[in-house]
Structure 1
Amino acid sequence: MNAFKVLTAAVATAMISLPALAQETTTIRVGSWLPPHHLIVSGILKPWAEAIESETDGSLKFEFMTSALGPPPAQFDLLLDQAFDVGYGVSGHNAGRFTMTQVMDLPFMSPDPWAGSAAAWQTYAKWGQEYGEHDGVHLVGLFVHSNPNINMANGRVDTLADLEGKTIRVGGNVTGRIMSELGASPVQLPPTEAQTAMSRGVADGITFPLESIDFFGITPVITSITKVPGGLYTDTFWIAFNQATWDSLTAEQQAAVEKHSGMAIALLAGFAWTNGDAYGEERLNENNVEFITLPDEDLAAARERLAPLEAEWLAQASEKGFDGEAILNYARSMVDHYNTTRAVNVAQ
């Protein structure tokens, strides 16, 4: 009888402890340098995190930091130093560090955020481990923003000639080079300073997607926007776990993260930027901003002027021991494959 009581007590104790074990949660700290209502956070990172939390029945919980631990260019090193468990950033903020990953930053590579984001991830999935550009982290996603425009506060750009002598705010190294080749003088400023810079004449315009013009409160100073069909440039964003954090996850948790990463993040980016641009364009129309499209002959001239950037990237790829032509051609094939303007269900 005593043995039976002991066994019963042991079983009861085990049953009481089961819920506690089931509720054990690992908190993942996400370093963030953007406001929580920015579409990258609210439209990409948070839906991604929520999907993983649900997939793991709450065994993983993502906690977004509300204060930046450093400026955007410092995010990758902060992640390496384990300042947080998951980080995100712009590859172009660290010139020369992510050269191969930045294949989608080249001129006219990304016609829309769906195709560009998908191509960025698929190309990295094929060659990224060989690049060695993200050693120390476990990369889970790459994406690009939507098509940028030439947004002017002073003057207007009907043709490439109108860019001559204009000072244009840019965000990264490749963008600055593009503006230089097209005749403008690039100035690198935080987006939060762009409106003030244009109001004071420090900058005549800014290269930005429609969404970003509205988000950063730049709409009031913009008088005209020149659209560049085919995507003048894009910035490649990364999302990654610190390697030690990643290695500490269970196999089931890692599988849940992978399930909702990669192409899933690319799709989230496509949704976010497309919706954000639609909202931004509404605000700009309300402000009576004039929209201009760069003429075909100027597009052809822009492609010719910017061809050296591709040649230089190919040379850098060769120096690093990679077949740049193969990578570039594959990236373009992925853009074509995922291009949202590609006709489907059409009888040939």
Structure 2
Amino acid sequence: MKLKATALVLAALAMAGCTEDVATAPSAASGEKVVLKVSHFWPATAMAQKKVLEPWCQTIEQQSQGQMVCQFYPAMQLGGTPQQLFDQVMDGVADIVFSLPGNNAGRFPSMEVMELPFLTRDAESSSRVAWQIYEEFGQKDFANLKPLAFNVHDRGQFHNNVRPITKIEDLKGLKLRAPTRLTNKMLEAYGATPVSLPLPSLTDSLSKGVVDGYVLPWEVVPTLKLHEMTKYHSEINEPDPVLYSTLFTIAMNKQRYNSLPDNLKKIIDDNSGADFSASIGKAWDDELAPARAHAVDNGNAINTIDSAEVKRFEEAAKKVESDWISEMNAKGYDGQAMVNRAKELVAAAAK
């Protein structure tokens, strides 16, 4: 009898353990309050939280009549590094993350097309394109996630402490911090020395002369008080295409999404996709002028690289594109088709 009872207890425990393994995400019955853990690497005061994530969360809370709410974990408060955010959301540590696919080089290759030099225009229209590229080419790469939006930032520009940049030759020998793999390759093509640094380390590295400068959109500059320690800013402006872009995504744990009742899934779906992506890009575009004003007010030198010289920059960067196409082809993607389609969509969206 004792043996039989022990066997029954062990069987029950085994079944309980099996149930835990299968239930990879908590379910939400209709009417039950759902708290979504939202994680990112920016400070809580950053634009990404204040003007993107918080308004989005307010919308889904209102539309769900308070049934679905967000709990924010800025500045990696759930632990780990920015490079681990996608693992954290897939493992259920977070329900939603806002991060850069480029932080995991080679993991999401299809969307890297949006980071090619001189591909994008304004952030709003190009972010809408990014969502369409995902729908046409990127769903396999993100099969284990539920993407909610893709976006690019406002125009990436040159910033340094050595000299104004008016032509390619001015970049020769400069040590510049670059944010992405493709931006590193672009800087190498111009004769600069790319330096890979985590963004929070840039301020200290610039003050100590570890780097001469950096390539960044204006929006980031005052956030890190970089305008206070930078002498020269060199811009490529409209109607010329953008020097470079970095791609971001807001992604949700797929099991968490699937566990939601249909009415809450619909709210998530109604507030995801191309329109949400474009609105994030617009938030970045809107920050360009006020962020740039900090450098103007500080008396920094700002120059525009003329269109004739921009053509030389574009020509020198073509190798970055051709090499990327070859890399994608080797991975089983049609790299040329992806580039062609991205350029076609960008041109149409910018009209």
TM over 0.5: yes
Match of 2:283 in 1: 272
- What is the root-mean-square deviation of aligned Cα atoms in Å? 1.7
Is residue 149–residue 207 contact of structure 1 (8 Å, CA) maintained in 2?
Answer: yes
In the alignment, is the contact (CA less than 8 A) between 2:37 and 2:96 conserved in 1? yes
Who is 1:171 aligned against? 179
Alignment correspondent of 2:89: 79
Q: CA deviation at 1:295?
A: 2.6
1:35 corresponding residue in structure 2: 43
Corresponding residue SS for 2:58 = helix
Q: Does 1:215 find its partner at 2:223?
A: yes
- Contact 1:211/1:276, CA 8 A, preserved across alignment: yes
| 1:78 shift after superposition | 1.3
Runs of at least 5 residues in structure 2 that lack an aligned partner in the other structure:
1-28
Q: Secondary structure at the match of 2:40?
A: coil
**1:166-205 mapped onto 2 (5 Å cutoff):** 166-205=174-213
8 Å contact 1:220–1:287 — kept in the other structure?
yes
SS at match of 2:158: strand
The residue aligned with 1:4 is none
Give the counterpart letter for 1:179 in structure 2.
Answer: L
Shift in Å, 1:22: 8.2
Cα contact 1:152–1:206 (8 A) shared by 2: yes
Comparing 263-272 with 278-287, greater Cα deviation is found at 263-272
Distance 2:311 2:227 in 1: 29
CA distance in 2, matches of 1:68, 1:203: 31
8 Å CA contact 1:114–1:338 kept in 2: the answer is no
- In the TM superposition, residue 115 of structure 1 has moved relative to its aligned partner by 2.0
- Choose the corresponding residue for 1:283, options 273, 288, 294: 294
Determine the C-alpha separation between the residues in 2 that align with 1:206 and 1:68: 29
Deviation at 1:222, TM superposition (A): 1.3
User: Which of 191, 208, 214 is the equivalent residue of 1:206?
Assistant: 214
2:65 maps to which of 41, 46, 57: 57
Partners of 2:203 and 2:96 in 1: CA distance:
31
Cα distance, 1:319 vs structure 2: 2.6
Specify the alignment match of 1:327 in structure 2: 338
Give runs of aligned pairs for residues 74-223 of structure 1, distance below 5 A.
74-129=84-139, 132-223=140-231
Cα-to-partner distance string for 1:253-308 (whole Å, 9 max, x where unaligned)? 11111111112222222221122111111111101122111233322222122112
Structure 1, unmatched stretches of 5+, are 1-20, 343-348
Q: Secondary structure at the match of 1:100?
A: helix
> Are the equivalent residues in 2 in contact too, given 1:92–1:174 (CA < 8 A)?
no
| Larger displacement relative to structure 2 (319-328 or 142-151) | 319-328
Q: How many residues are matched?
A: 318
- Asked if structure 2 preserves the Cα contact closer than 8 Å seen for 1:31 and 1:86, the reply is yes
Q: Secondary structure at the match of 1:44?
A: helix
Instruction: Give the 3-state SS of the residue equivalent to 1:107 in structure 2.
Output: coil
Identity of aligned residues (%): 26
CA distance in 2, matches of 1:267, 1:223: 33
Give the Cα–Cα distance (whole angstroms) in 1 for the partners of residues 300 and 34 of structure 2. Answer: 48
Return the offset for 1:64.
Answer: 0.7
Of the three residues 313, 319, 322, the one matched with 1:311 is 322
Change (3 A) 1:28 1:181: same
Check conservation: 2:126, 2:278, Cα contact below 8 A: no
Give the match for residue 69 of structure 1. Answer: 79
Give the secondary-structure state (helix, strand or coil) at the position aligned to 1:203: coil
Shift of 1:321: 3.0
TM-score with structure 1 length normalisation?
0.87
Q: More deviation in 61-70 or 114-123? A: 61-70
Tell me the distance in 2 between the aligned counterparts of 1:48 and 1:71.
Answer: 24
Whether the 8 Å CA contact 1:219–1:287 is kept in 2: the answer is yes
